[in-house]
Chains A and B, each alone.
Chain A
C-alpha cells in the first residue's frame, strides 16, 4: 500500500510542479496563442495531479486530502524530477521575469511529455485500477502536450539563427537532468514489484527514438551526457523548488481551512 502511495505522489508531484512552472507564462506568453496553450497544458497537468493526489489520500485513509498533499508538504517531501522545478532559463542567469526563455520551456515540456506518453501508456494496465484509469486519460492529454512541444522544438531549432541558438542552449542545459528518469528509486522499485508501477528503464529506447527523431528534424545536436544524476524523486532538490512551492502554497497556508 505504501509503495503505491509513494509512487502516486511521485507522479502527482511531477504534474503539479510542472503545472505550476508552466502557469508562470499565464499573461506573459510570447504570443497570445502560446499563452493560451501553456495555460491549457498547466490545467491538464494540475488536473492529473488532483486525480493522483485524491487517489493517494484515499489509500492513506488518515483524513488527508488532495489539498493537504499539495499545499502542506515541504520541498524535501516532494518526489518530482529536478528537471521540472528548474526556472524557465539556463544556468547562471538572473531571476527577473524578463529572463524567461521560451525555448527552455518548450524543450523541458518536450523531454517530459516524450517520457510521459510511454509511462501513461504502460500504466493503463497498472494493478491499481484507479491509476490505470488516470493513465488512460492522461495519455490523451500528454499526446497533445508532446505534439505541441515537438512542433515548437522543430520550429525553433530549424528557424532563425537566434531561435536555433536558444533551442540548442536549452537542450544542452536540460538534457543532463533527464538522467534522473533512468535511475530507479526505491519507491519505483517497490511499485514495480507490486505491479502498480512501470520500470522506466524499459521505456528508454522508445524515449531515445522520440528525442533523436525530433532533434534531427529540428537540426539540433544531442549533447553527450555523463556524470551528474539529479535526485529530485528521492527528495533531494535544487534550490529552485523551495521558491516555487513558497509561491504555490502561500495562499493555502495563510488560510489553512479556507474554502471558495
Chain B
C-alpha cells in the first residue's frame, strides 16, 4: 500500500460503474461523494446510499474496496447519510447515457414547500420515451425492476421502459 494523491484515487475510482446500470459511473450518479485526506492522513473515500434498502449498496462498497486494493491504495471507505442522496446530483452527461441505455432519466425533484404537498400527486411533467422520444407515455407502476425505477409504457411505439424516479 502506498500513499496515493487524492487525484490518483479519483482516477482509480473513475471507471467504477453502478452494478445494476453499468453505463453510468458511481461519480456521475452522485454515489461517490468525496475523496479526502482523513484526520490521521489516511485517504477517505466517501459514498452515500441511494434508496435505504438498495441491495446494490453492499456491492458498491465491495467494488470500491476491491478497486482501491488492486490499485495498491490504502484508504478507508466512509458511508455518509447526510445530505441525503438526490437524483438532482446526476450530471447531464449521465442522464444522456441513461437515455441511450433505454432508461428515461429523472426529472428535477420538486422543492418541498409545505405539508400540503402530500395530499395529491402533483401533475407530473411528461416522461419522454427513451426509444422514440414521444411524450405520449403512461405510467404502468411507480415501482419497477429496482428500487430507483418506475415502469412506463410508450403509447406511440408501444415499448415498455424504465423511468429513473426523482428522489
Chain A: residues with CB nearer than 8 A to chain B? 33-34, 36-37, 39-48, 50-51, 114, 117-118, 121, 129-130, 132-134, 136-138, 140-141, 143-144, 146-148, 150-151, 206, 209-210, 213
Contact = CB atoms under 8 A, between A and B. Distances in A.
A210 B165 contact: no
A43 B119 contact: no
A167 B84 CA distance: 35
B83 A144 contact: no
A37 B85 contact: no
B54 interface: yes
A51 B142 contact: no
Interface residues of B, number: 26
A140 B84 contact: yes
A130 B52 contact: no
B51 A141 contact: yes
Nearest to A52: B52
A212 to B, nearest CB: 10
A209 B84 CA distance: 28
A146 B53 contact: no
A137 B115 contact: no
Interface string B122-162: 00000000000000000011111101000100000000000
For the complex, would chain B's binding face be called helix, strand, loop or mixed by DSSP majority?
A: loop
Given A44-B53, A147-B142, 7 more contacts: A33-B151, A36-B145, A37-B143, A40-B147, A45-B53, A117-B118, A118-B115
Given A36-B145, A40-B143, A210 B55 contact: no
Contacts of A50: 52-53
B142 A37 contact: yes
Contact of A136 (B51, B82, B143): B82
Contacts of B55: 43
B143 A41 contact: yes
B10 interface: no
A36 B120 CA distance: 23
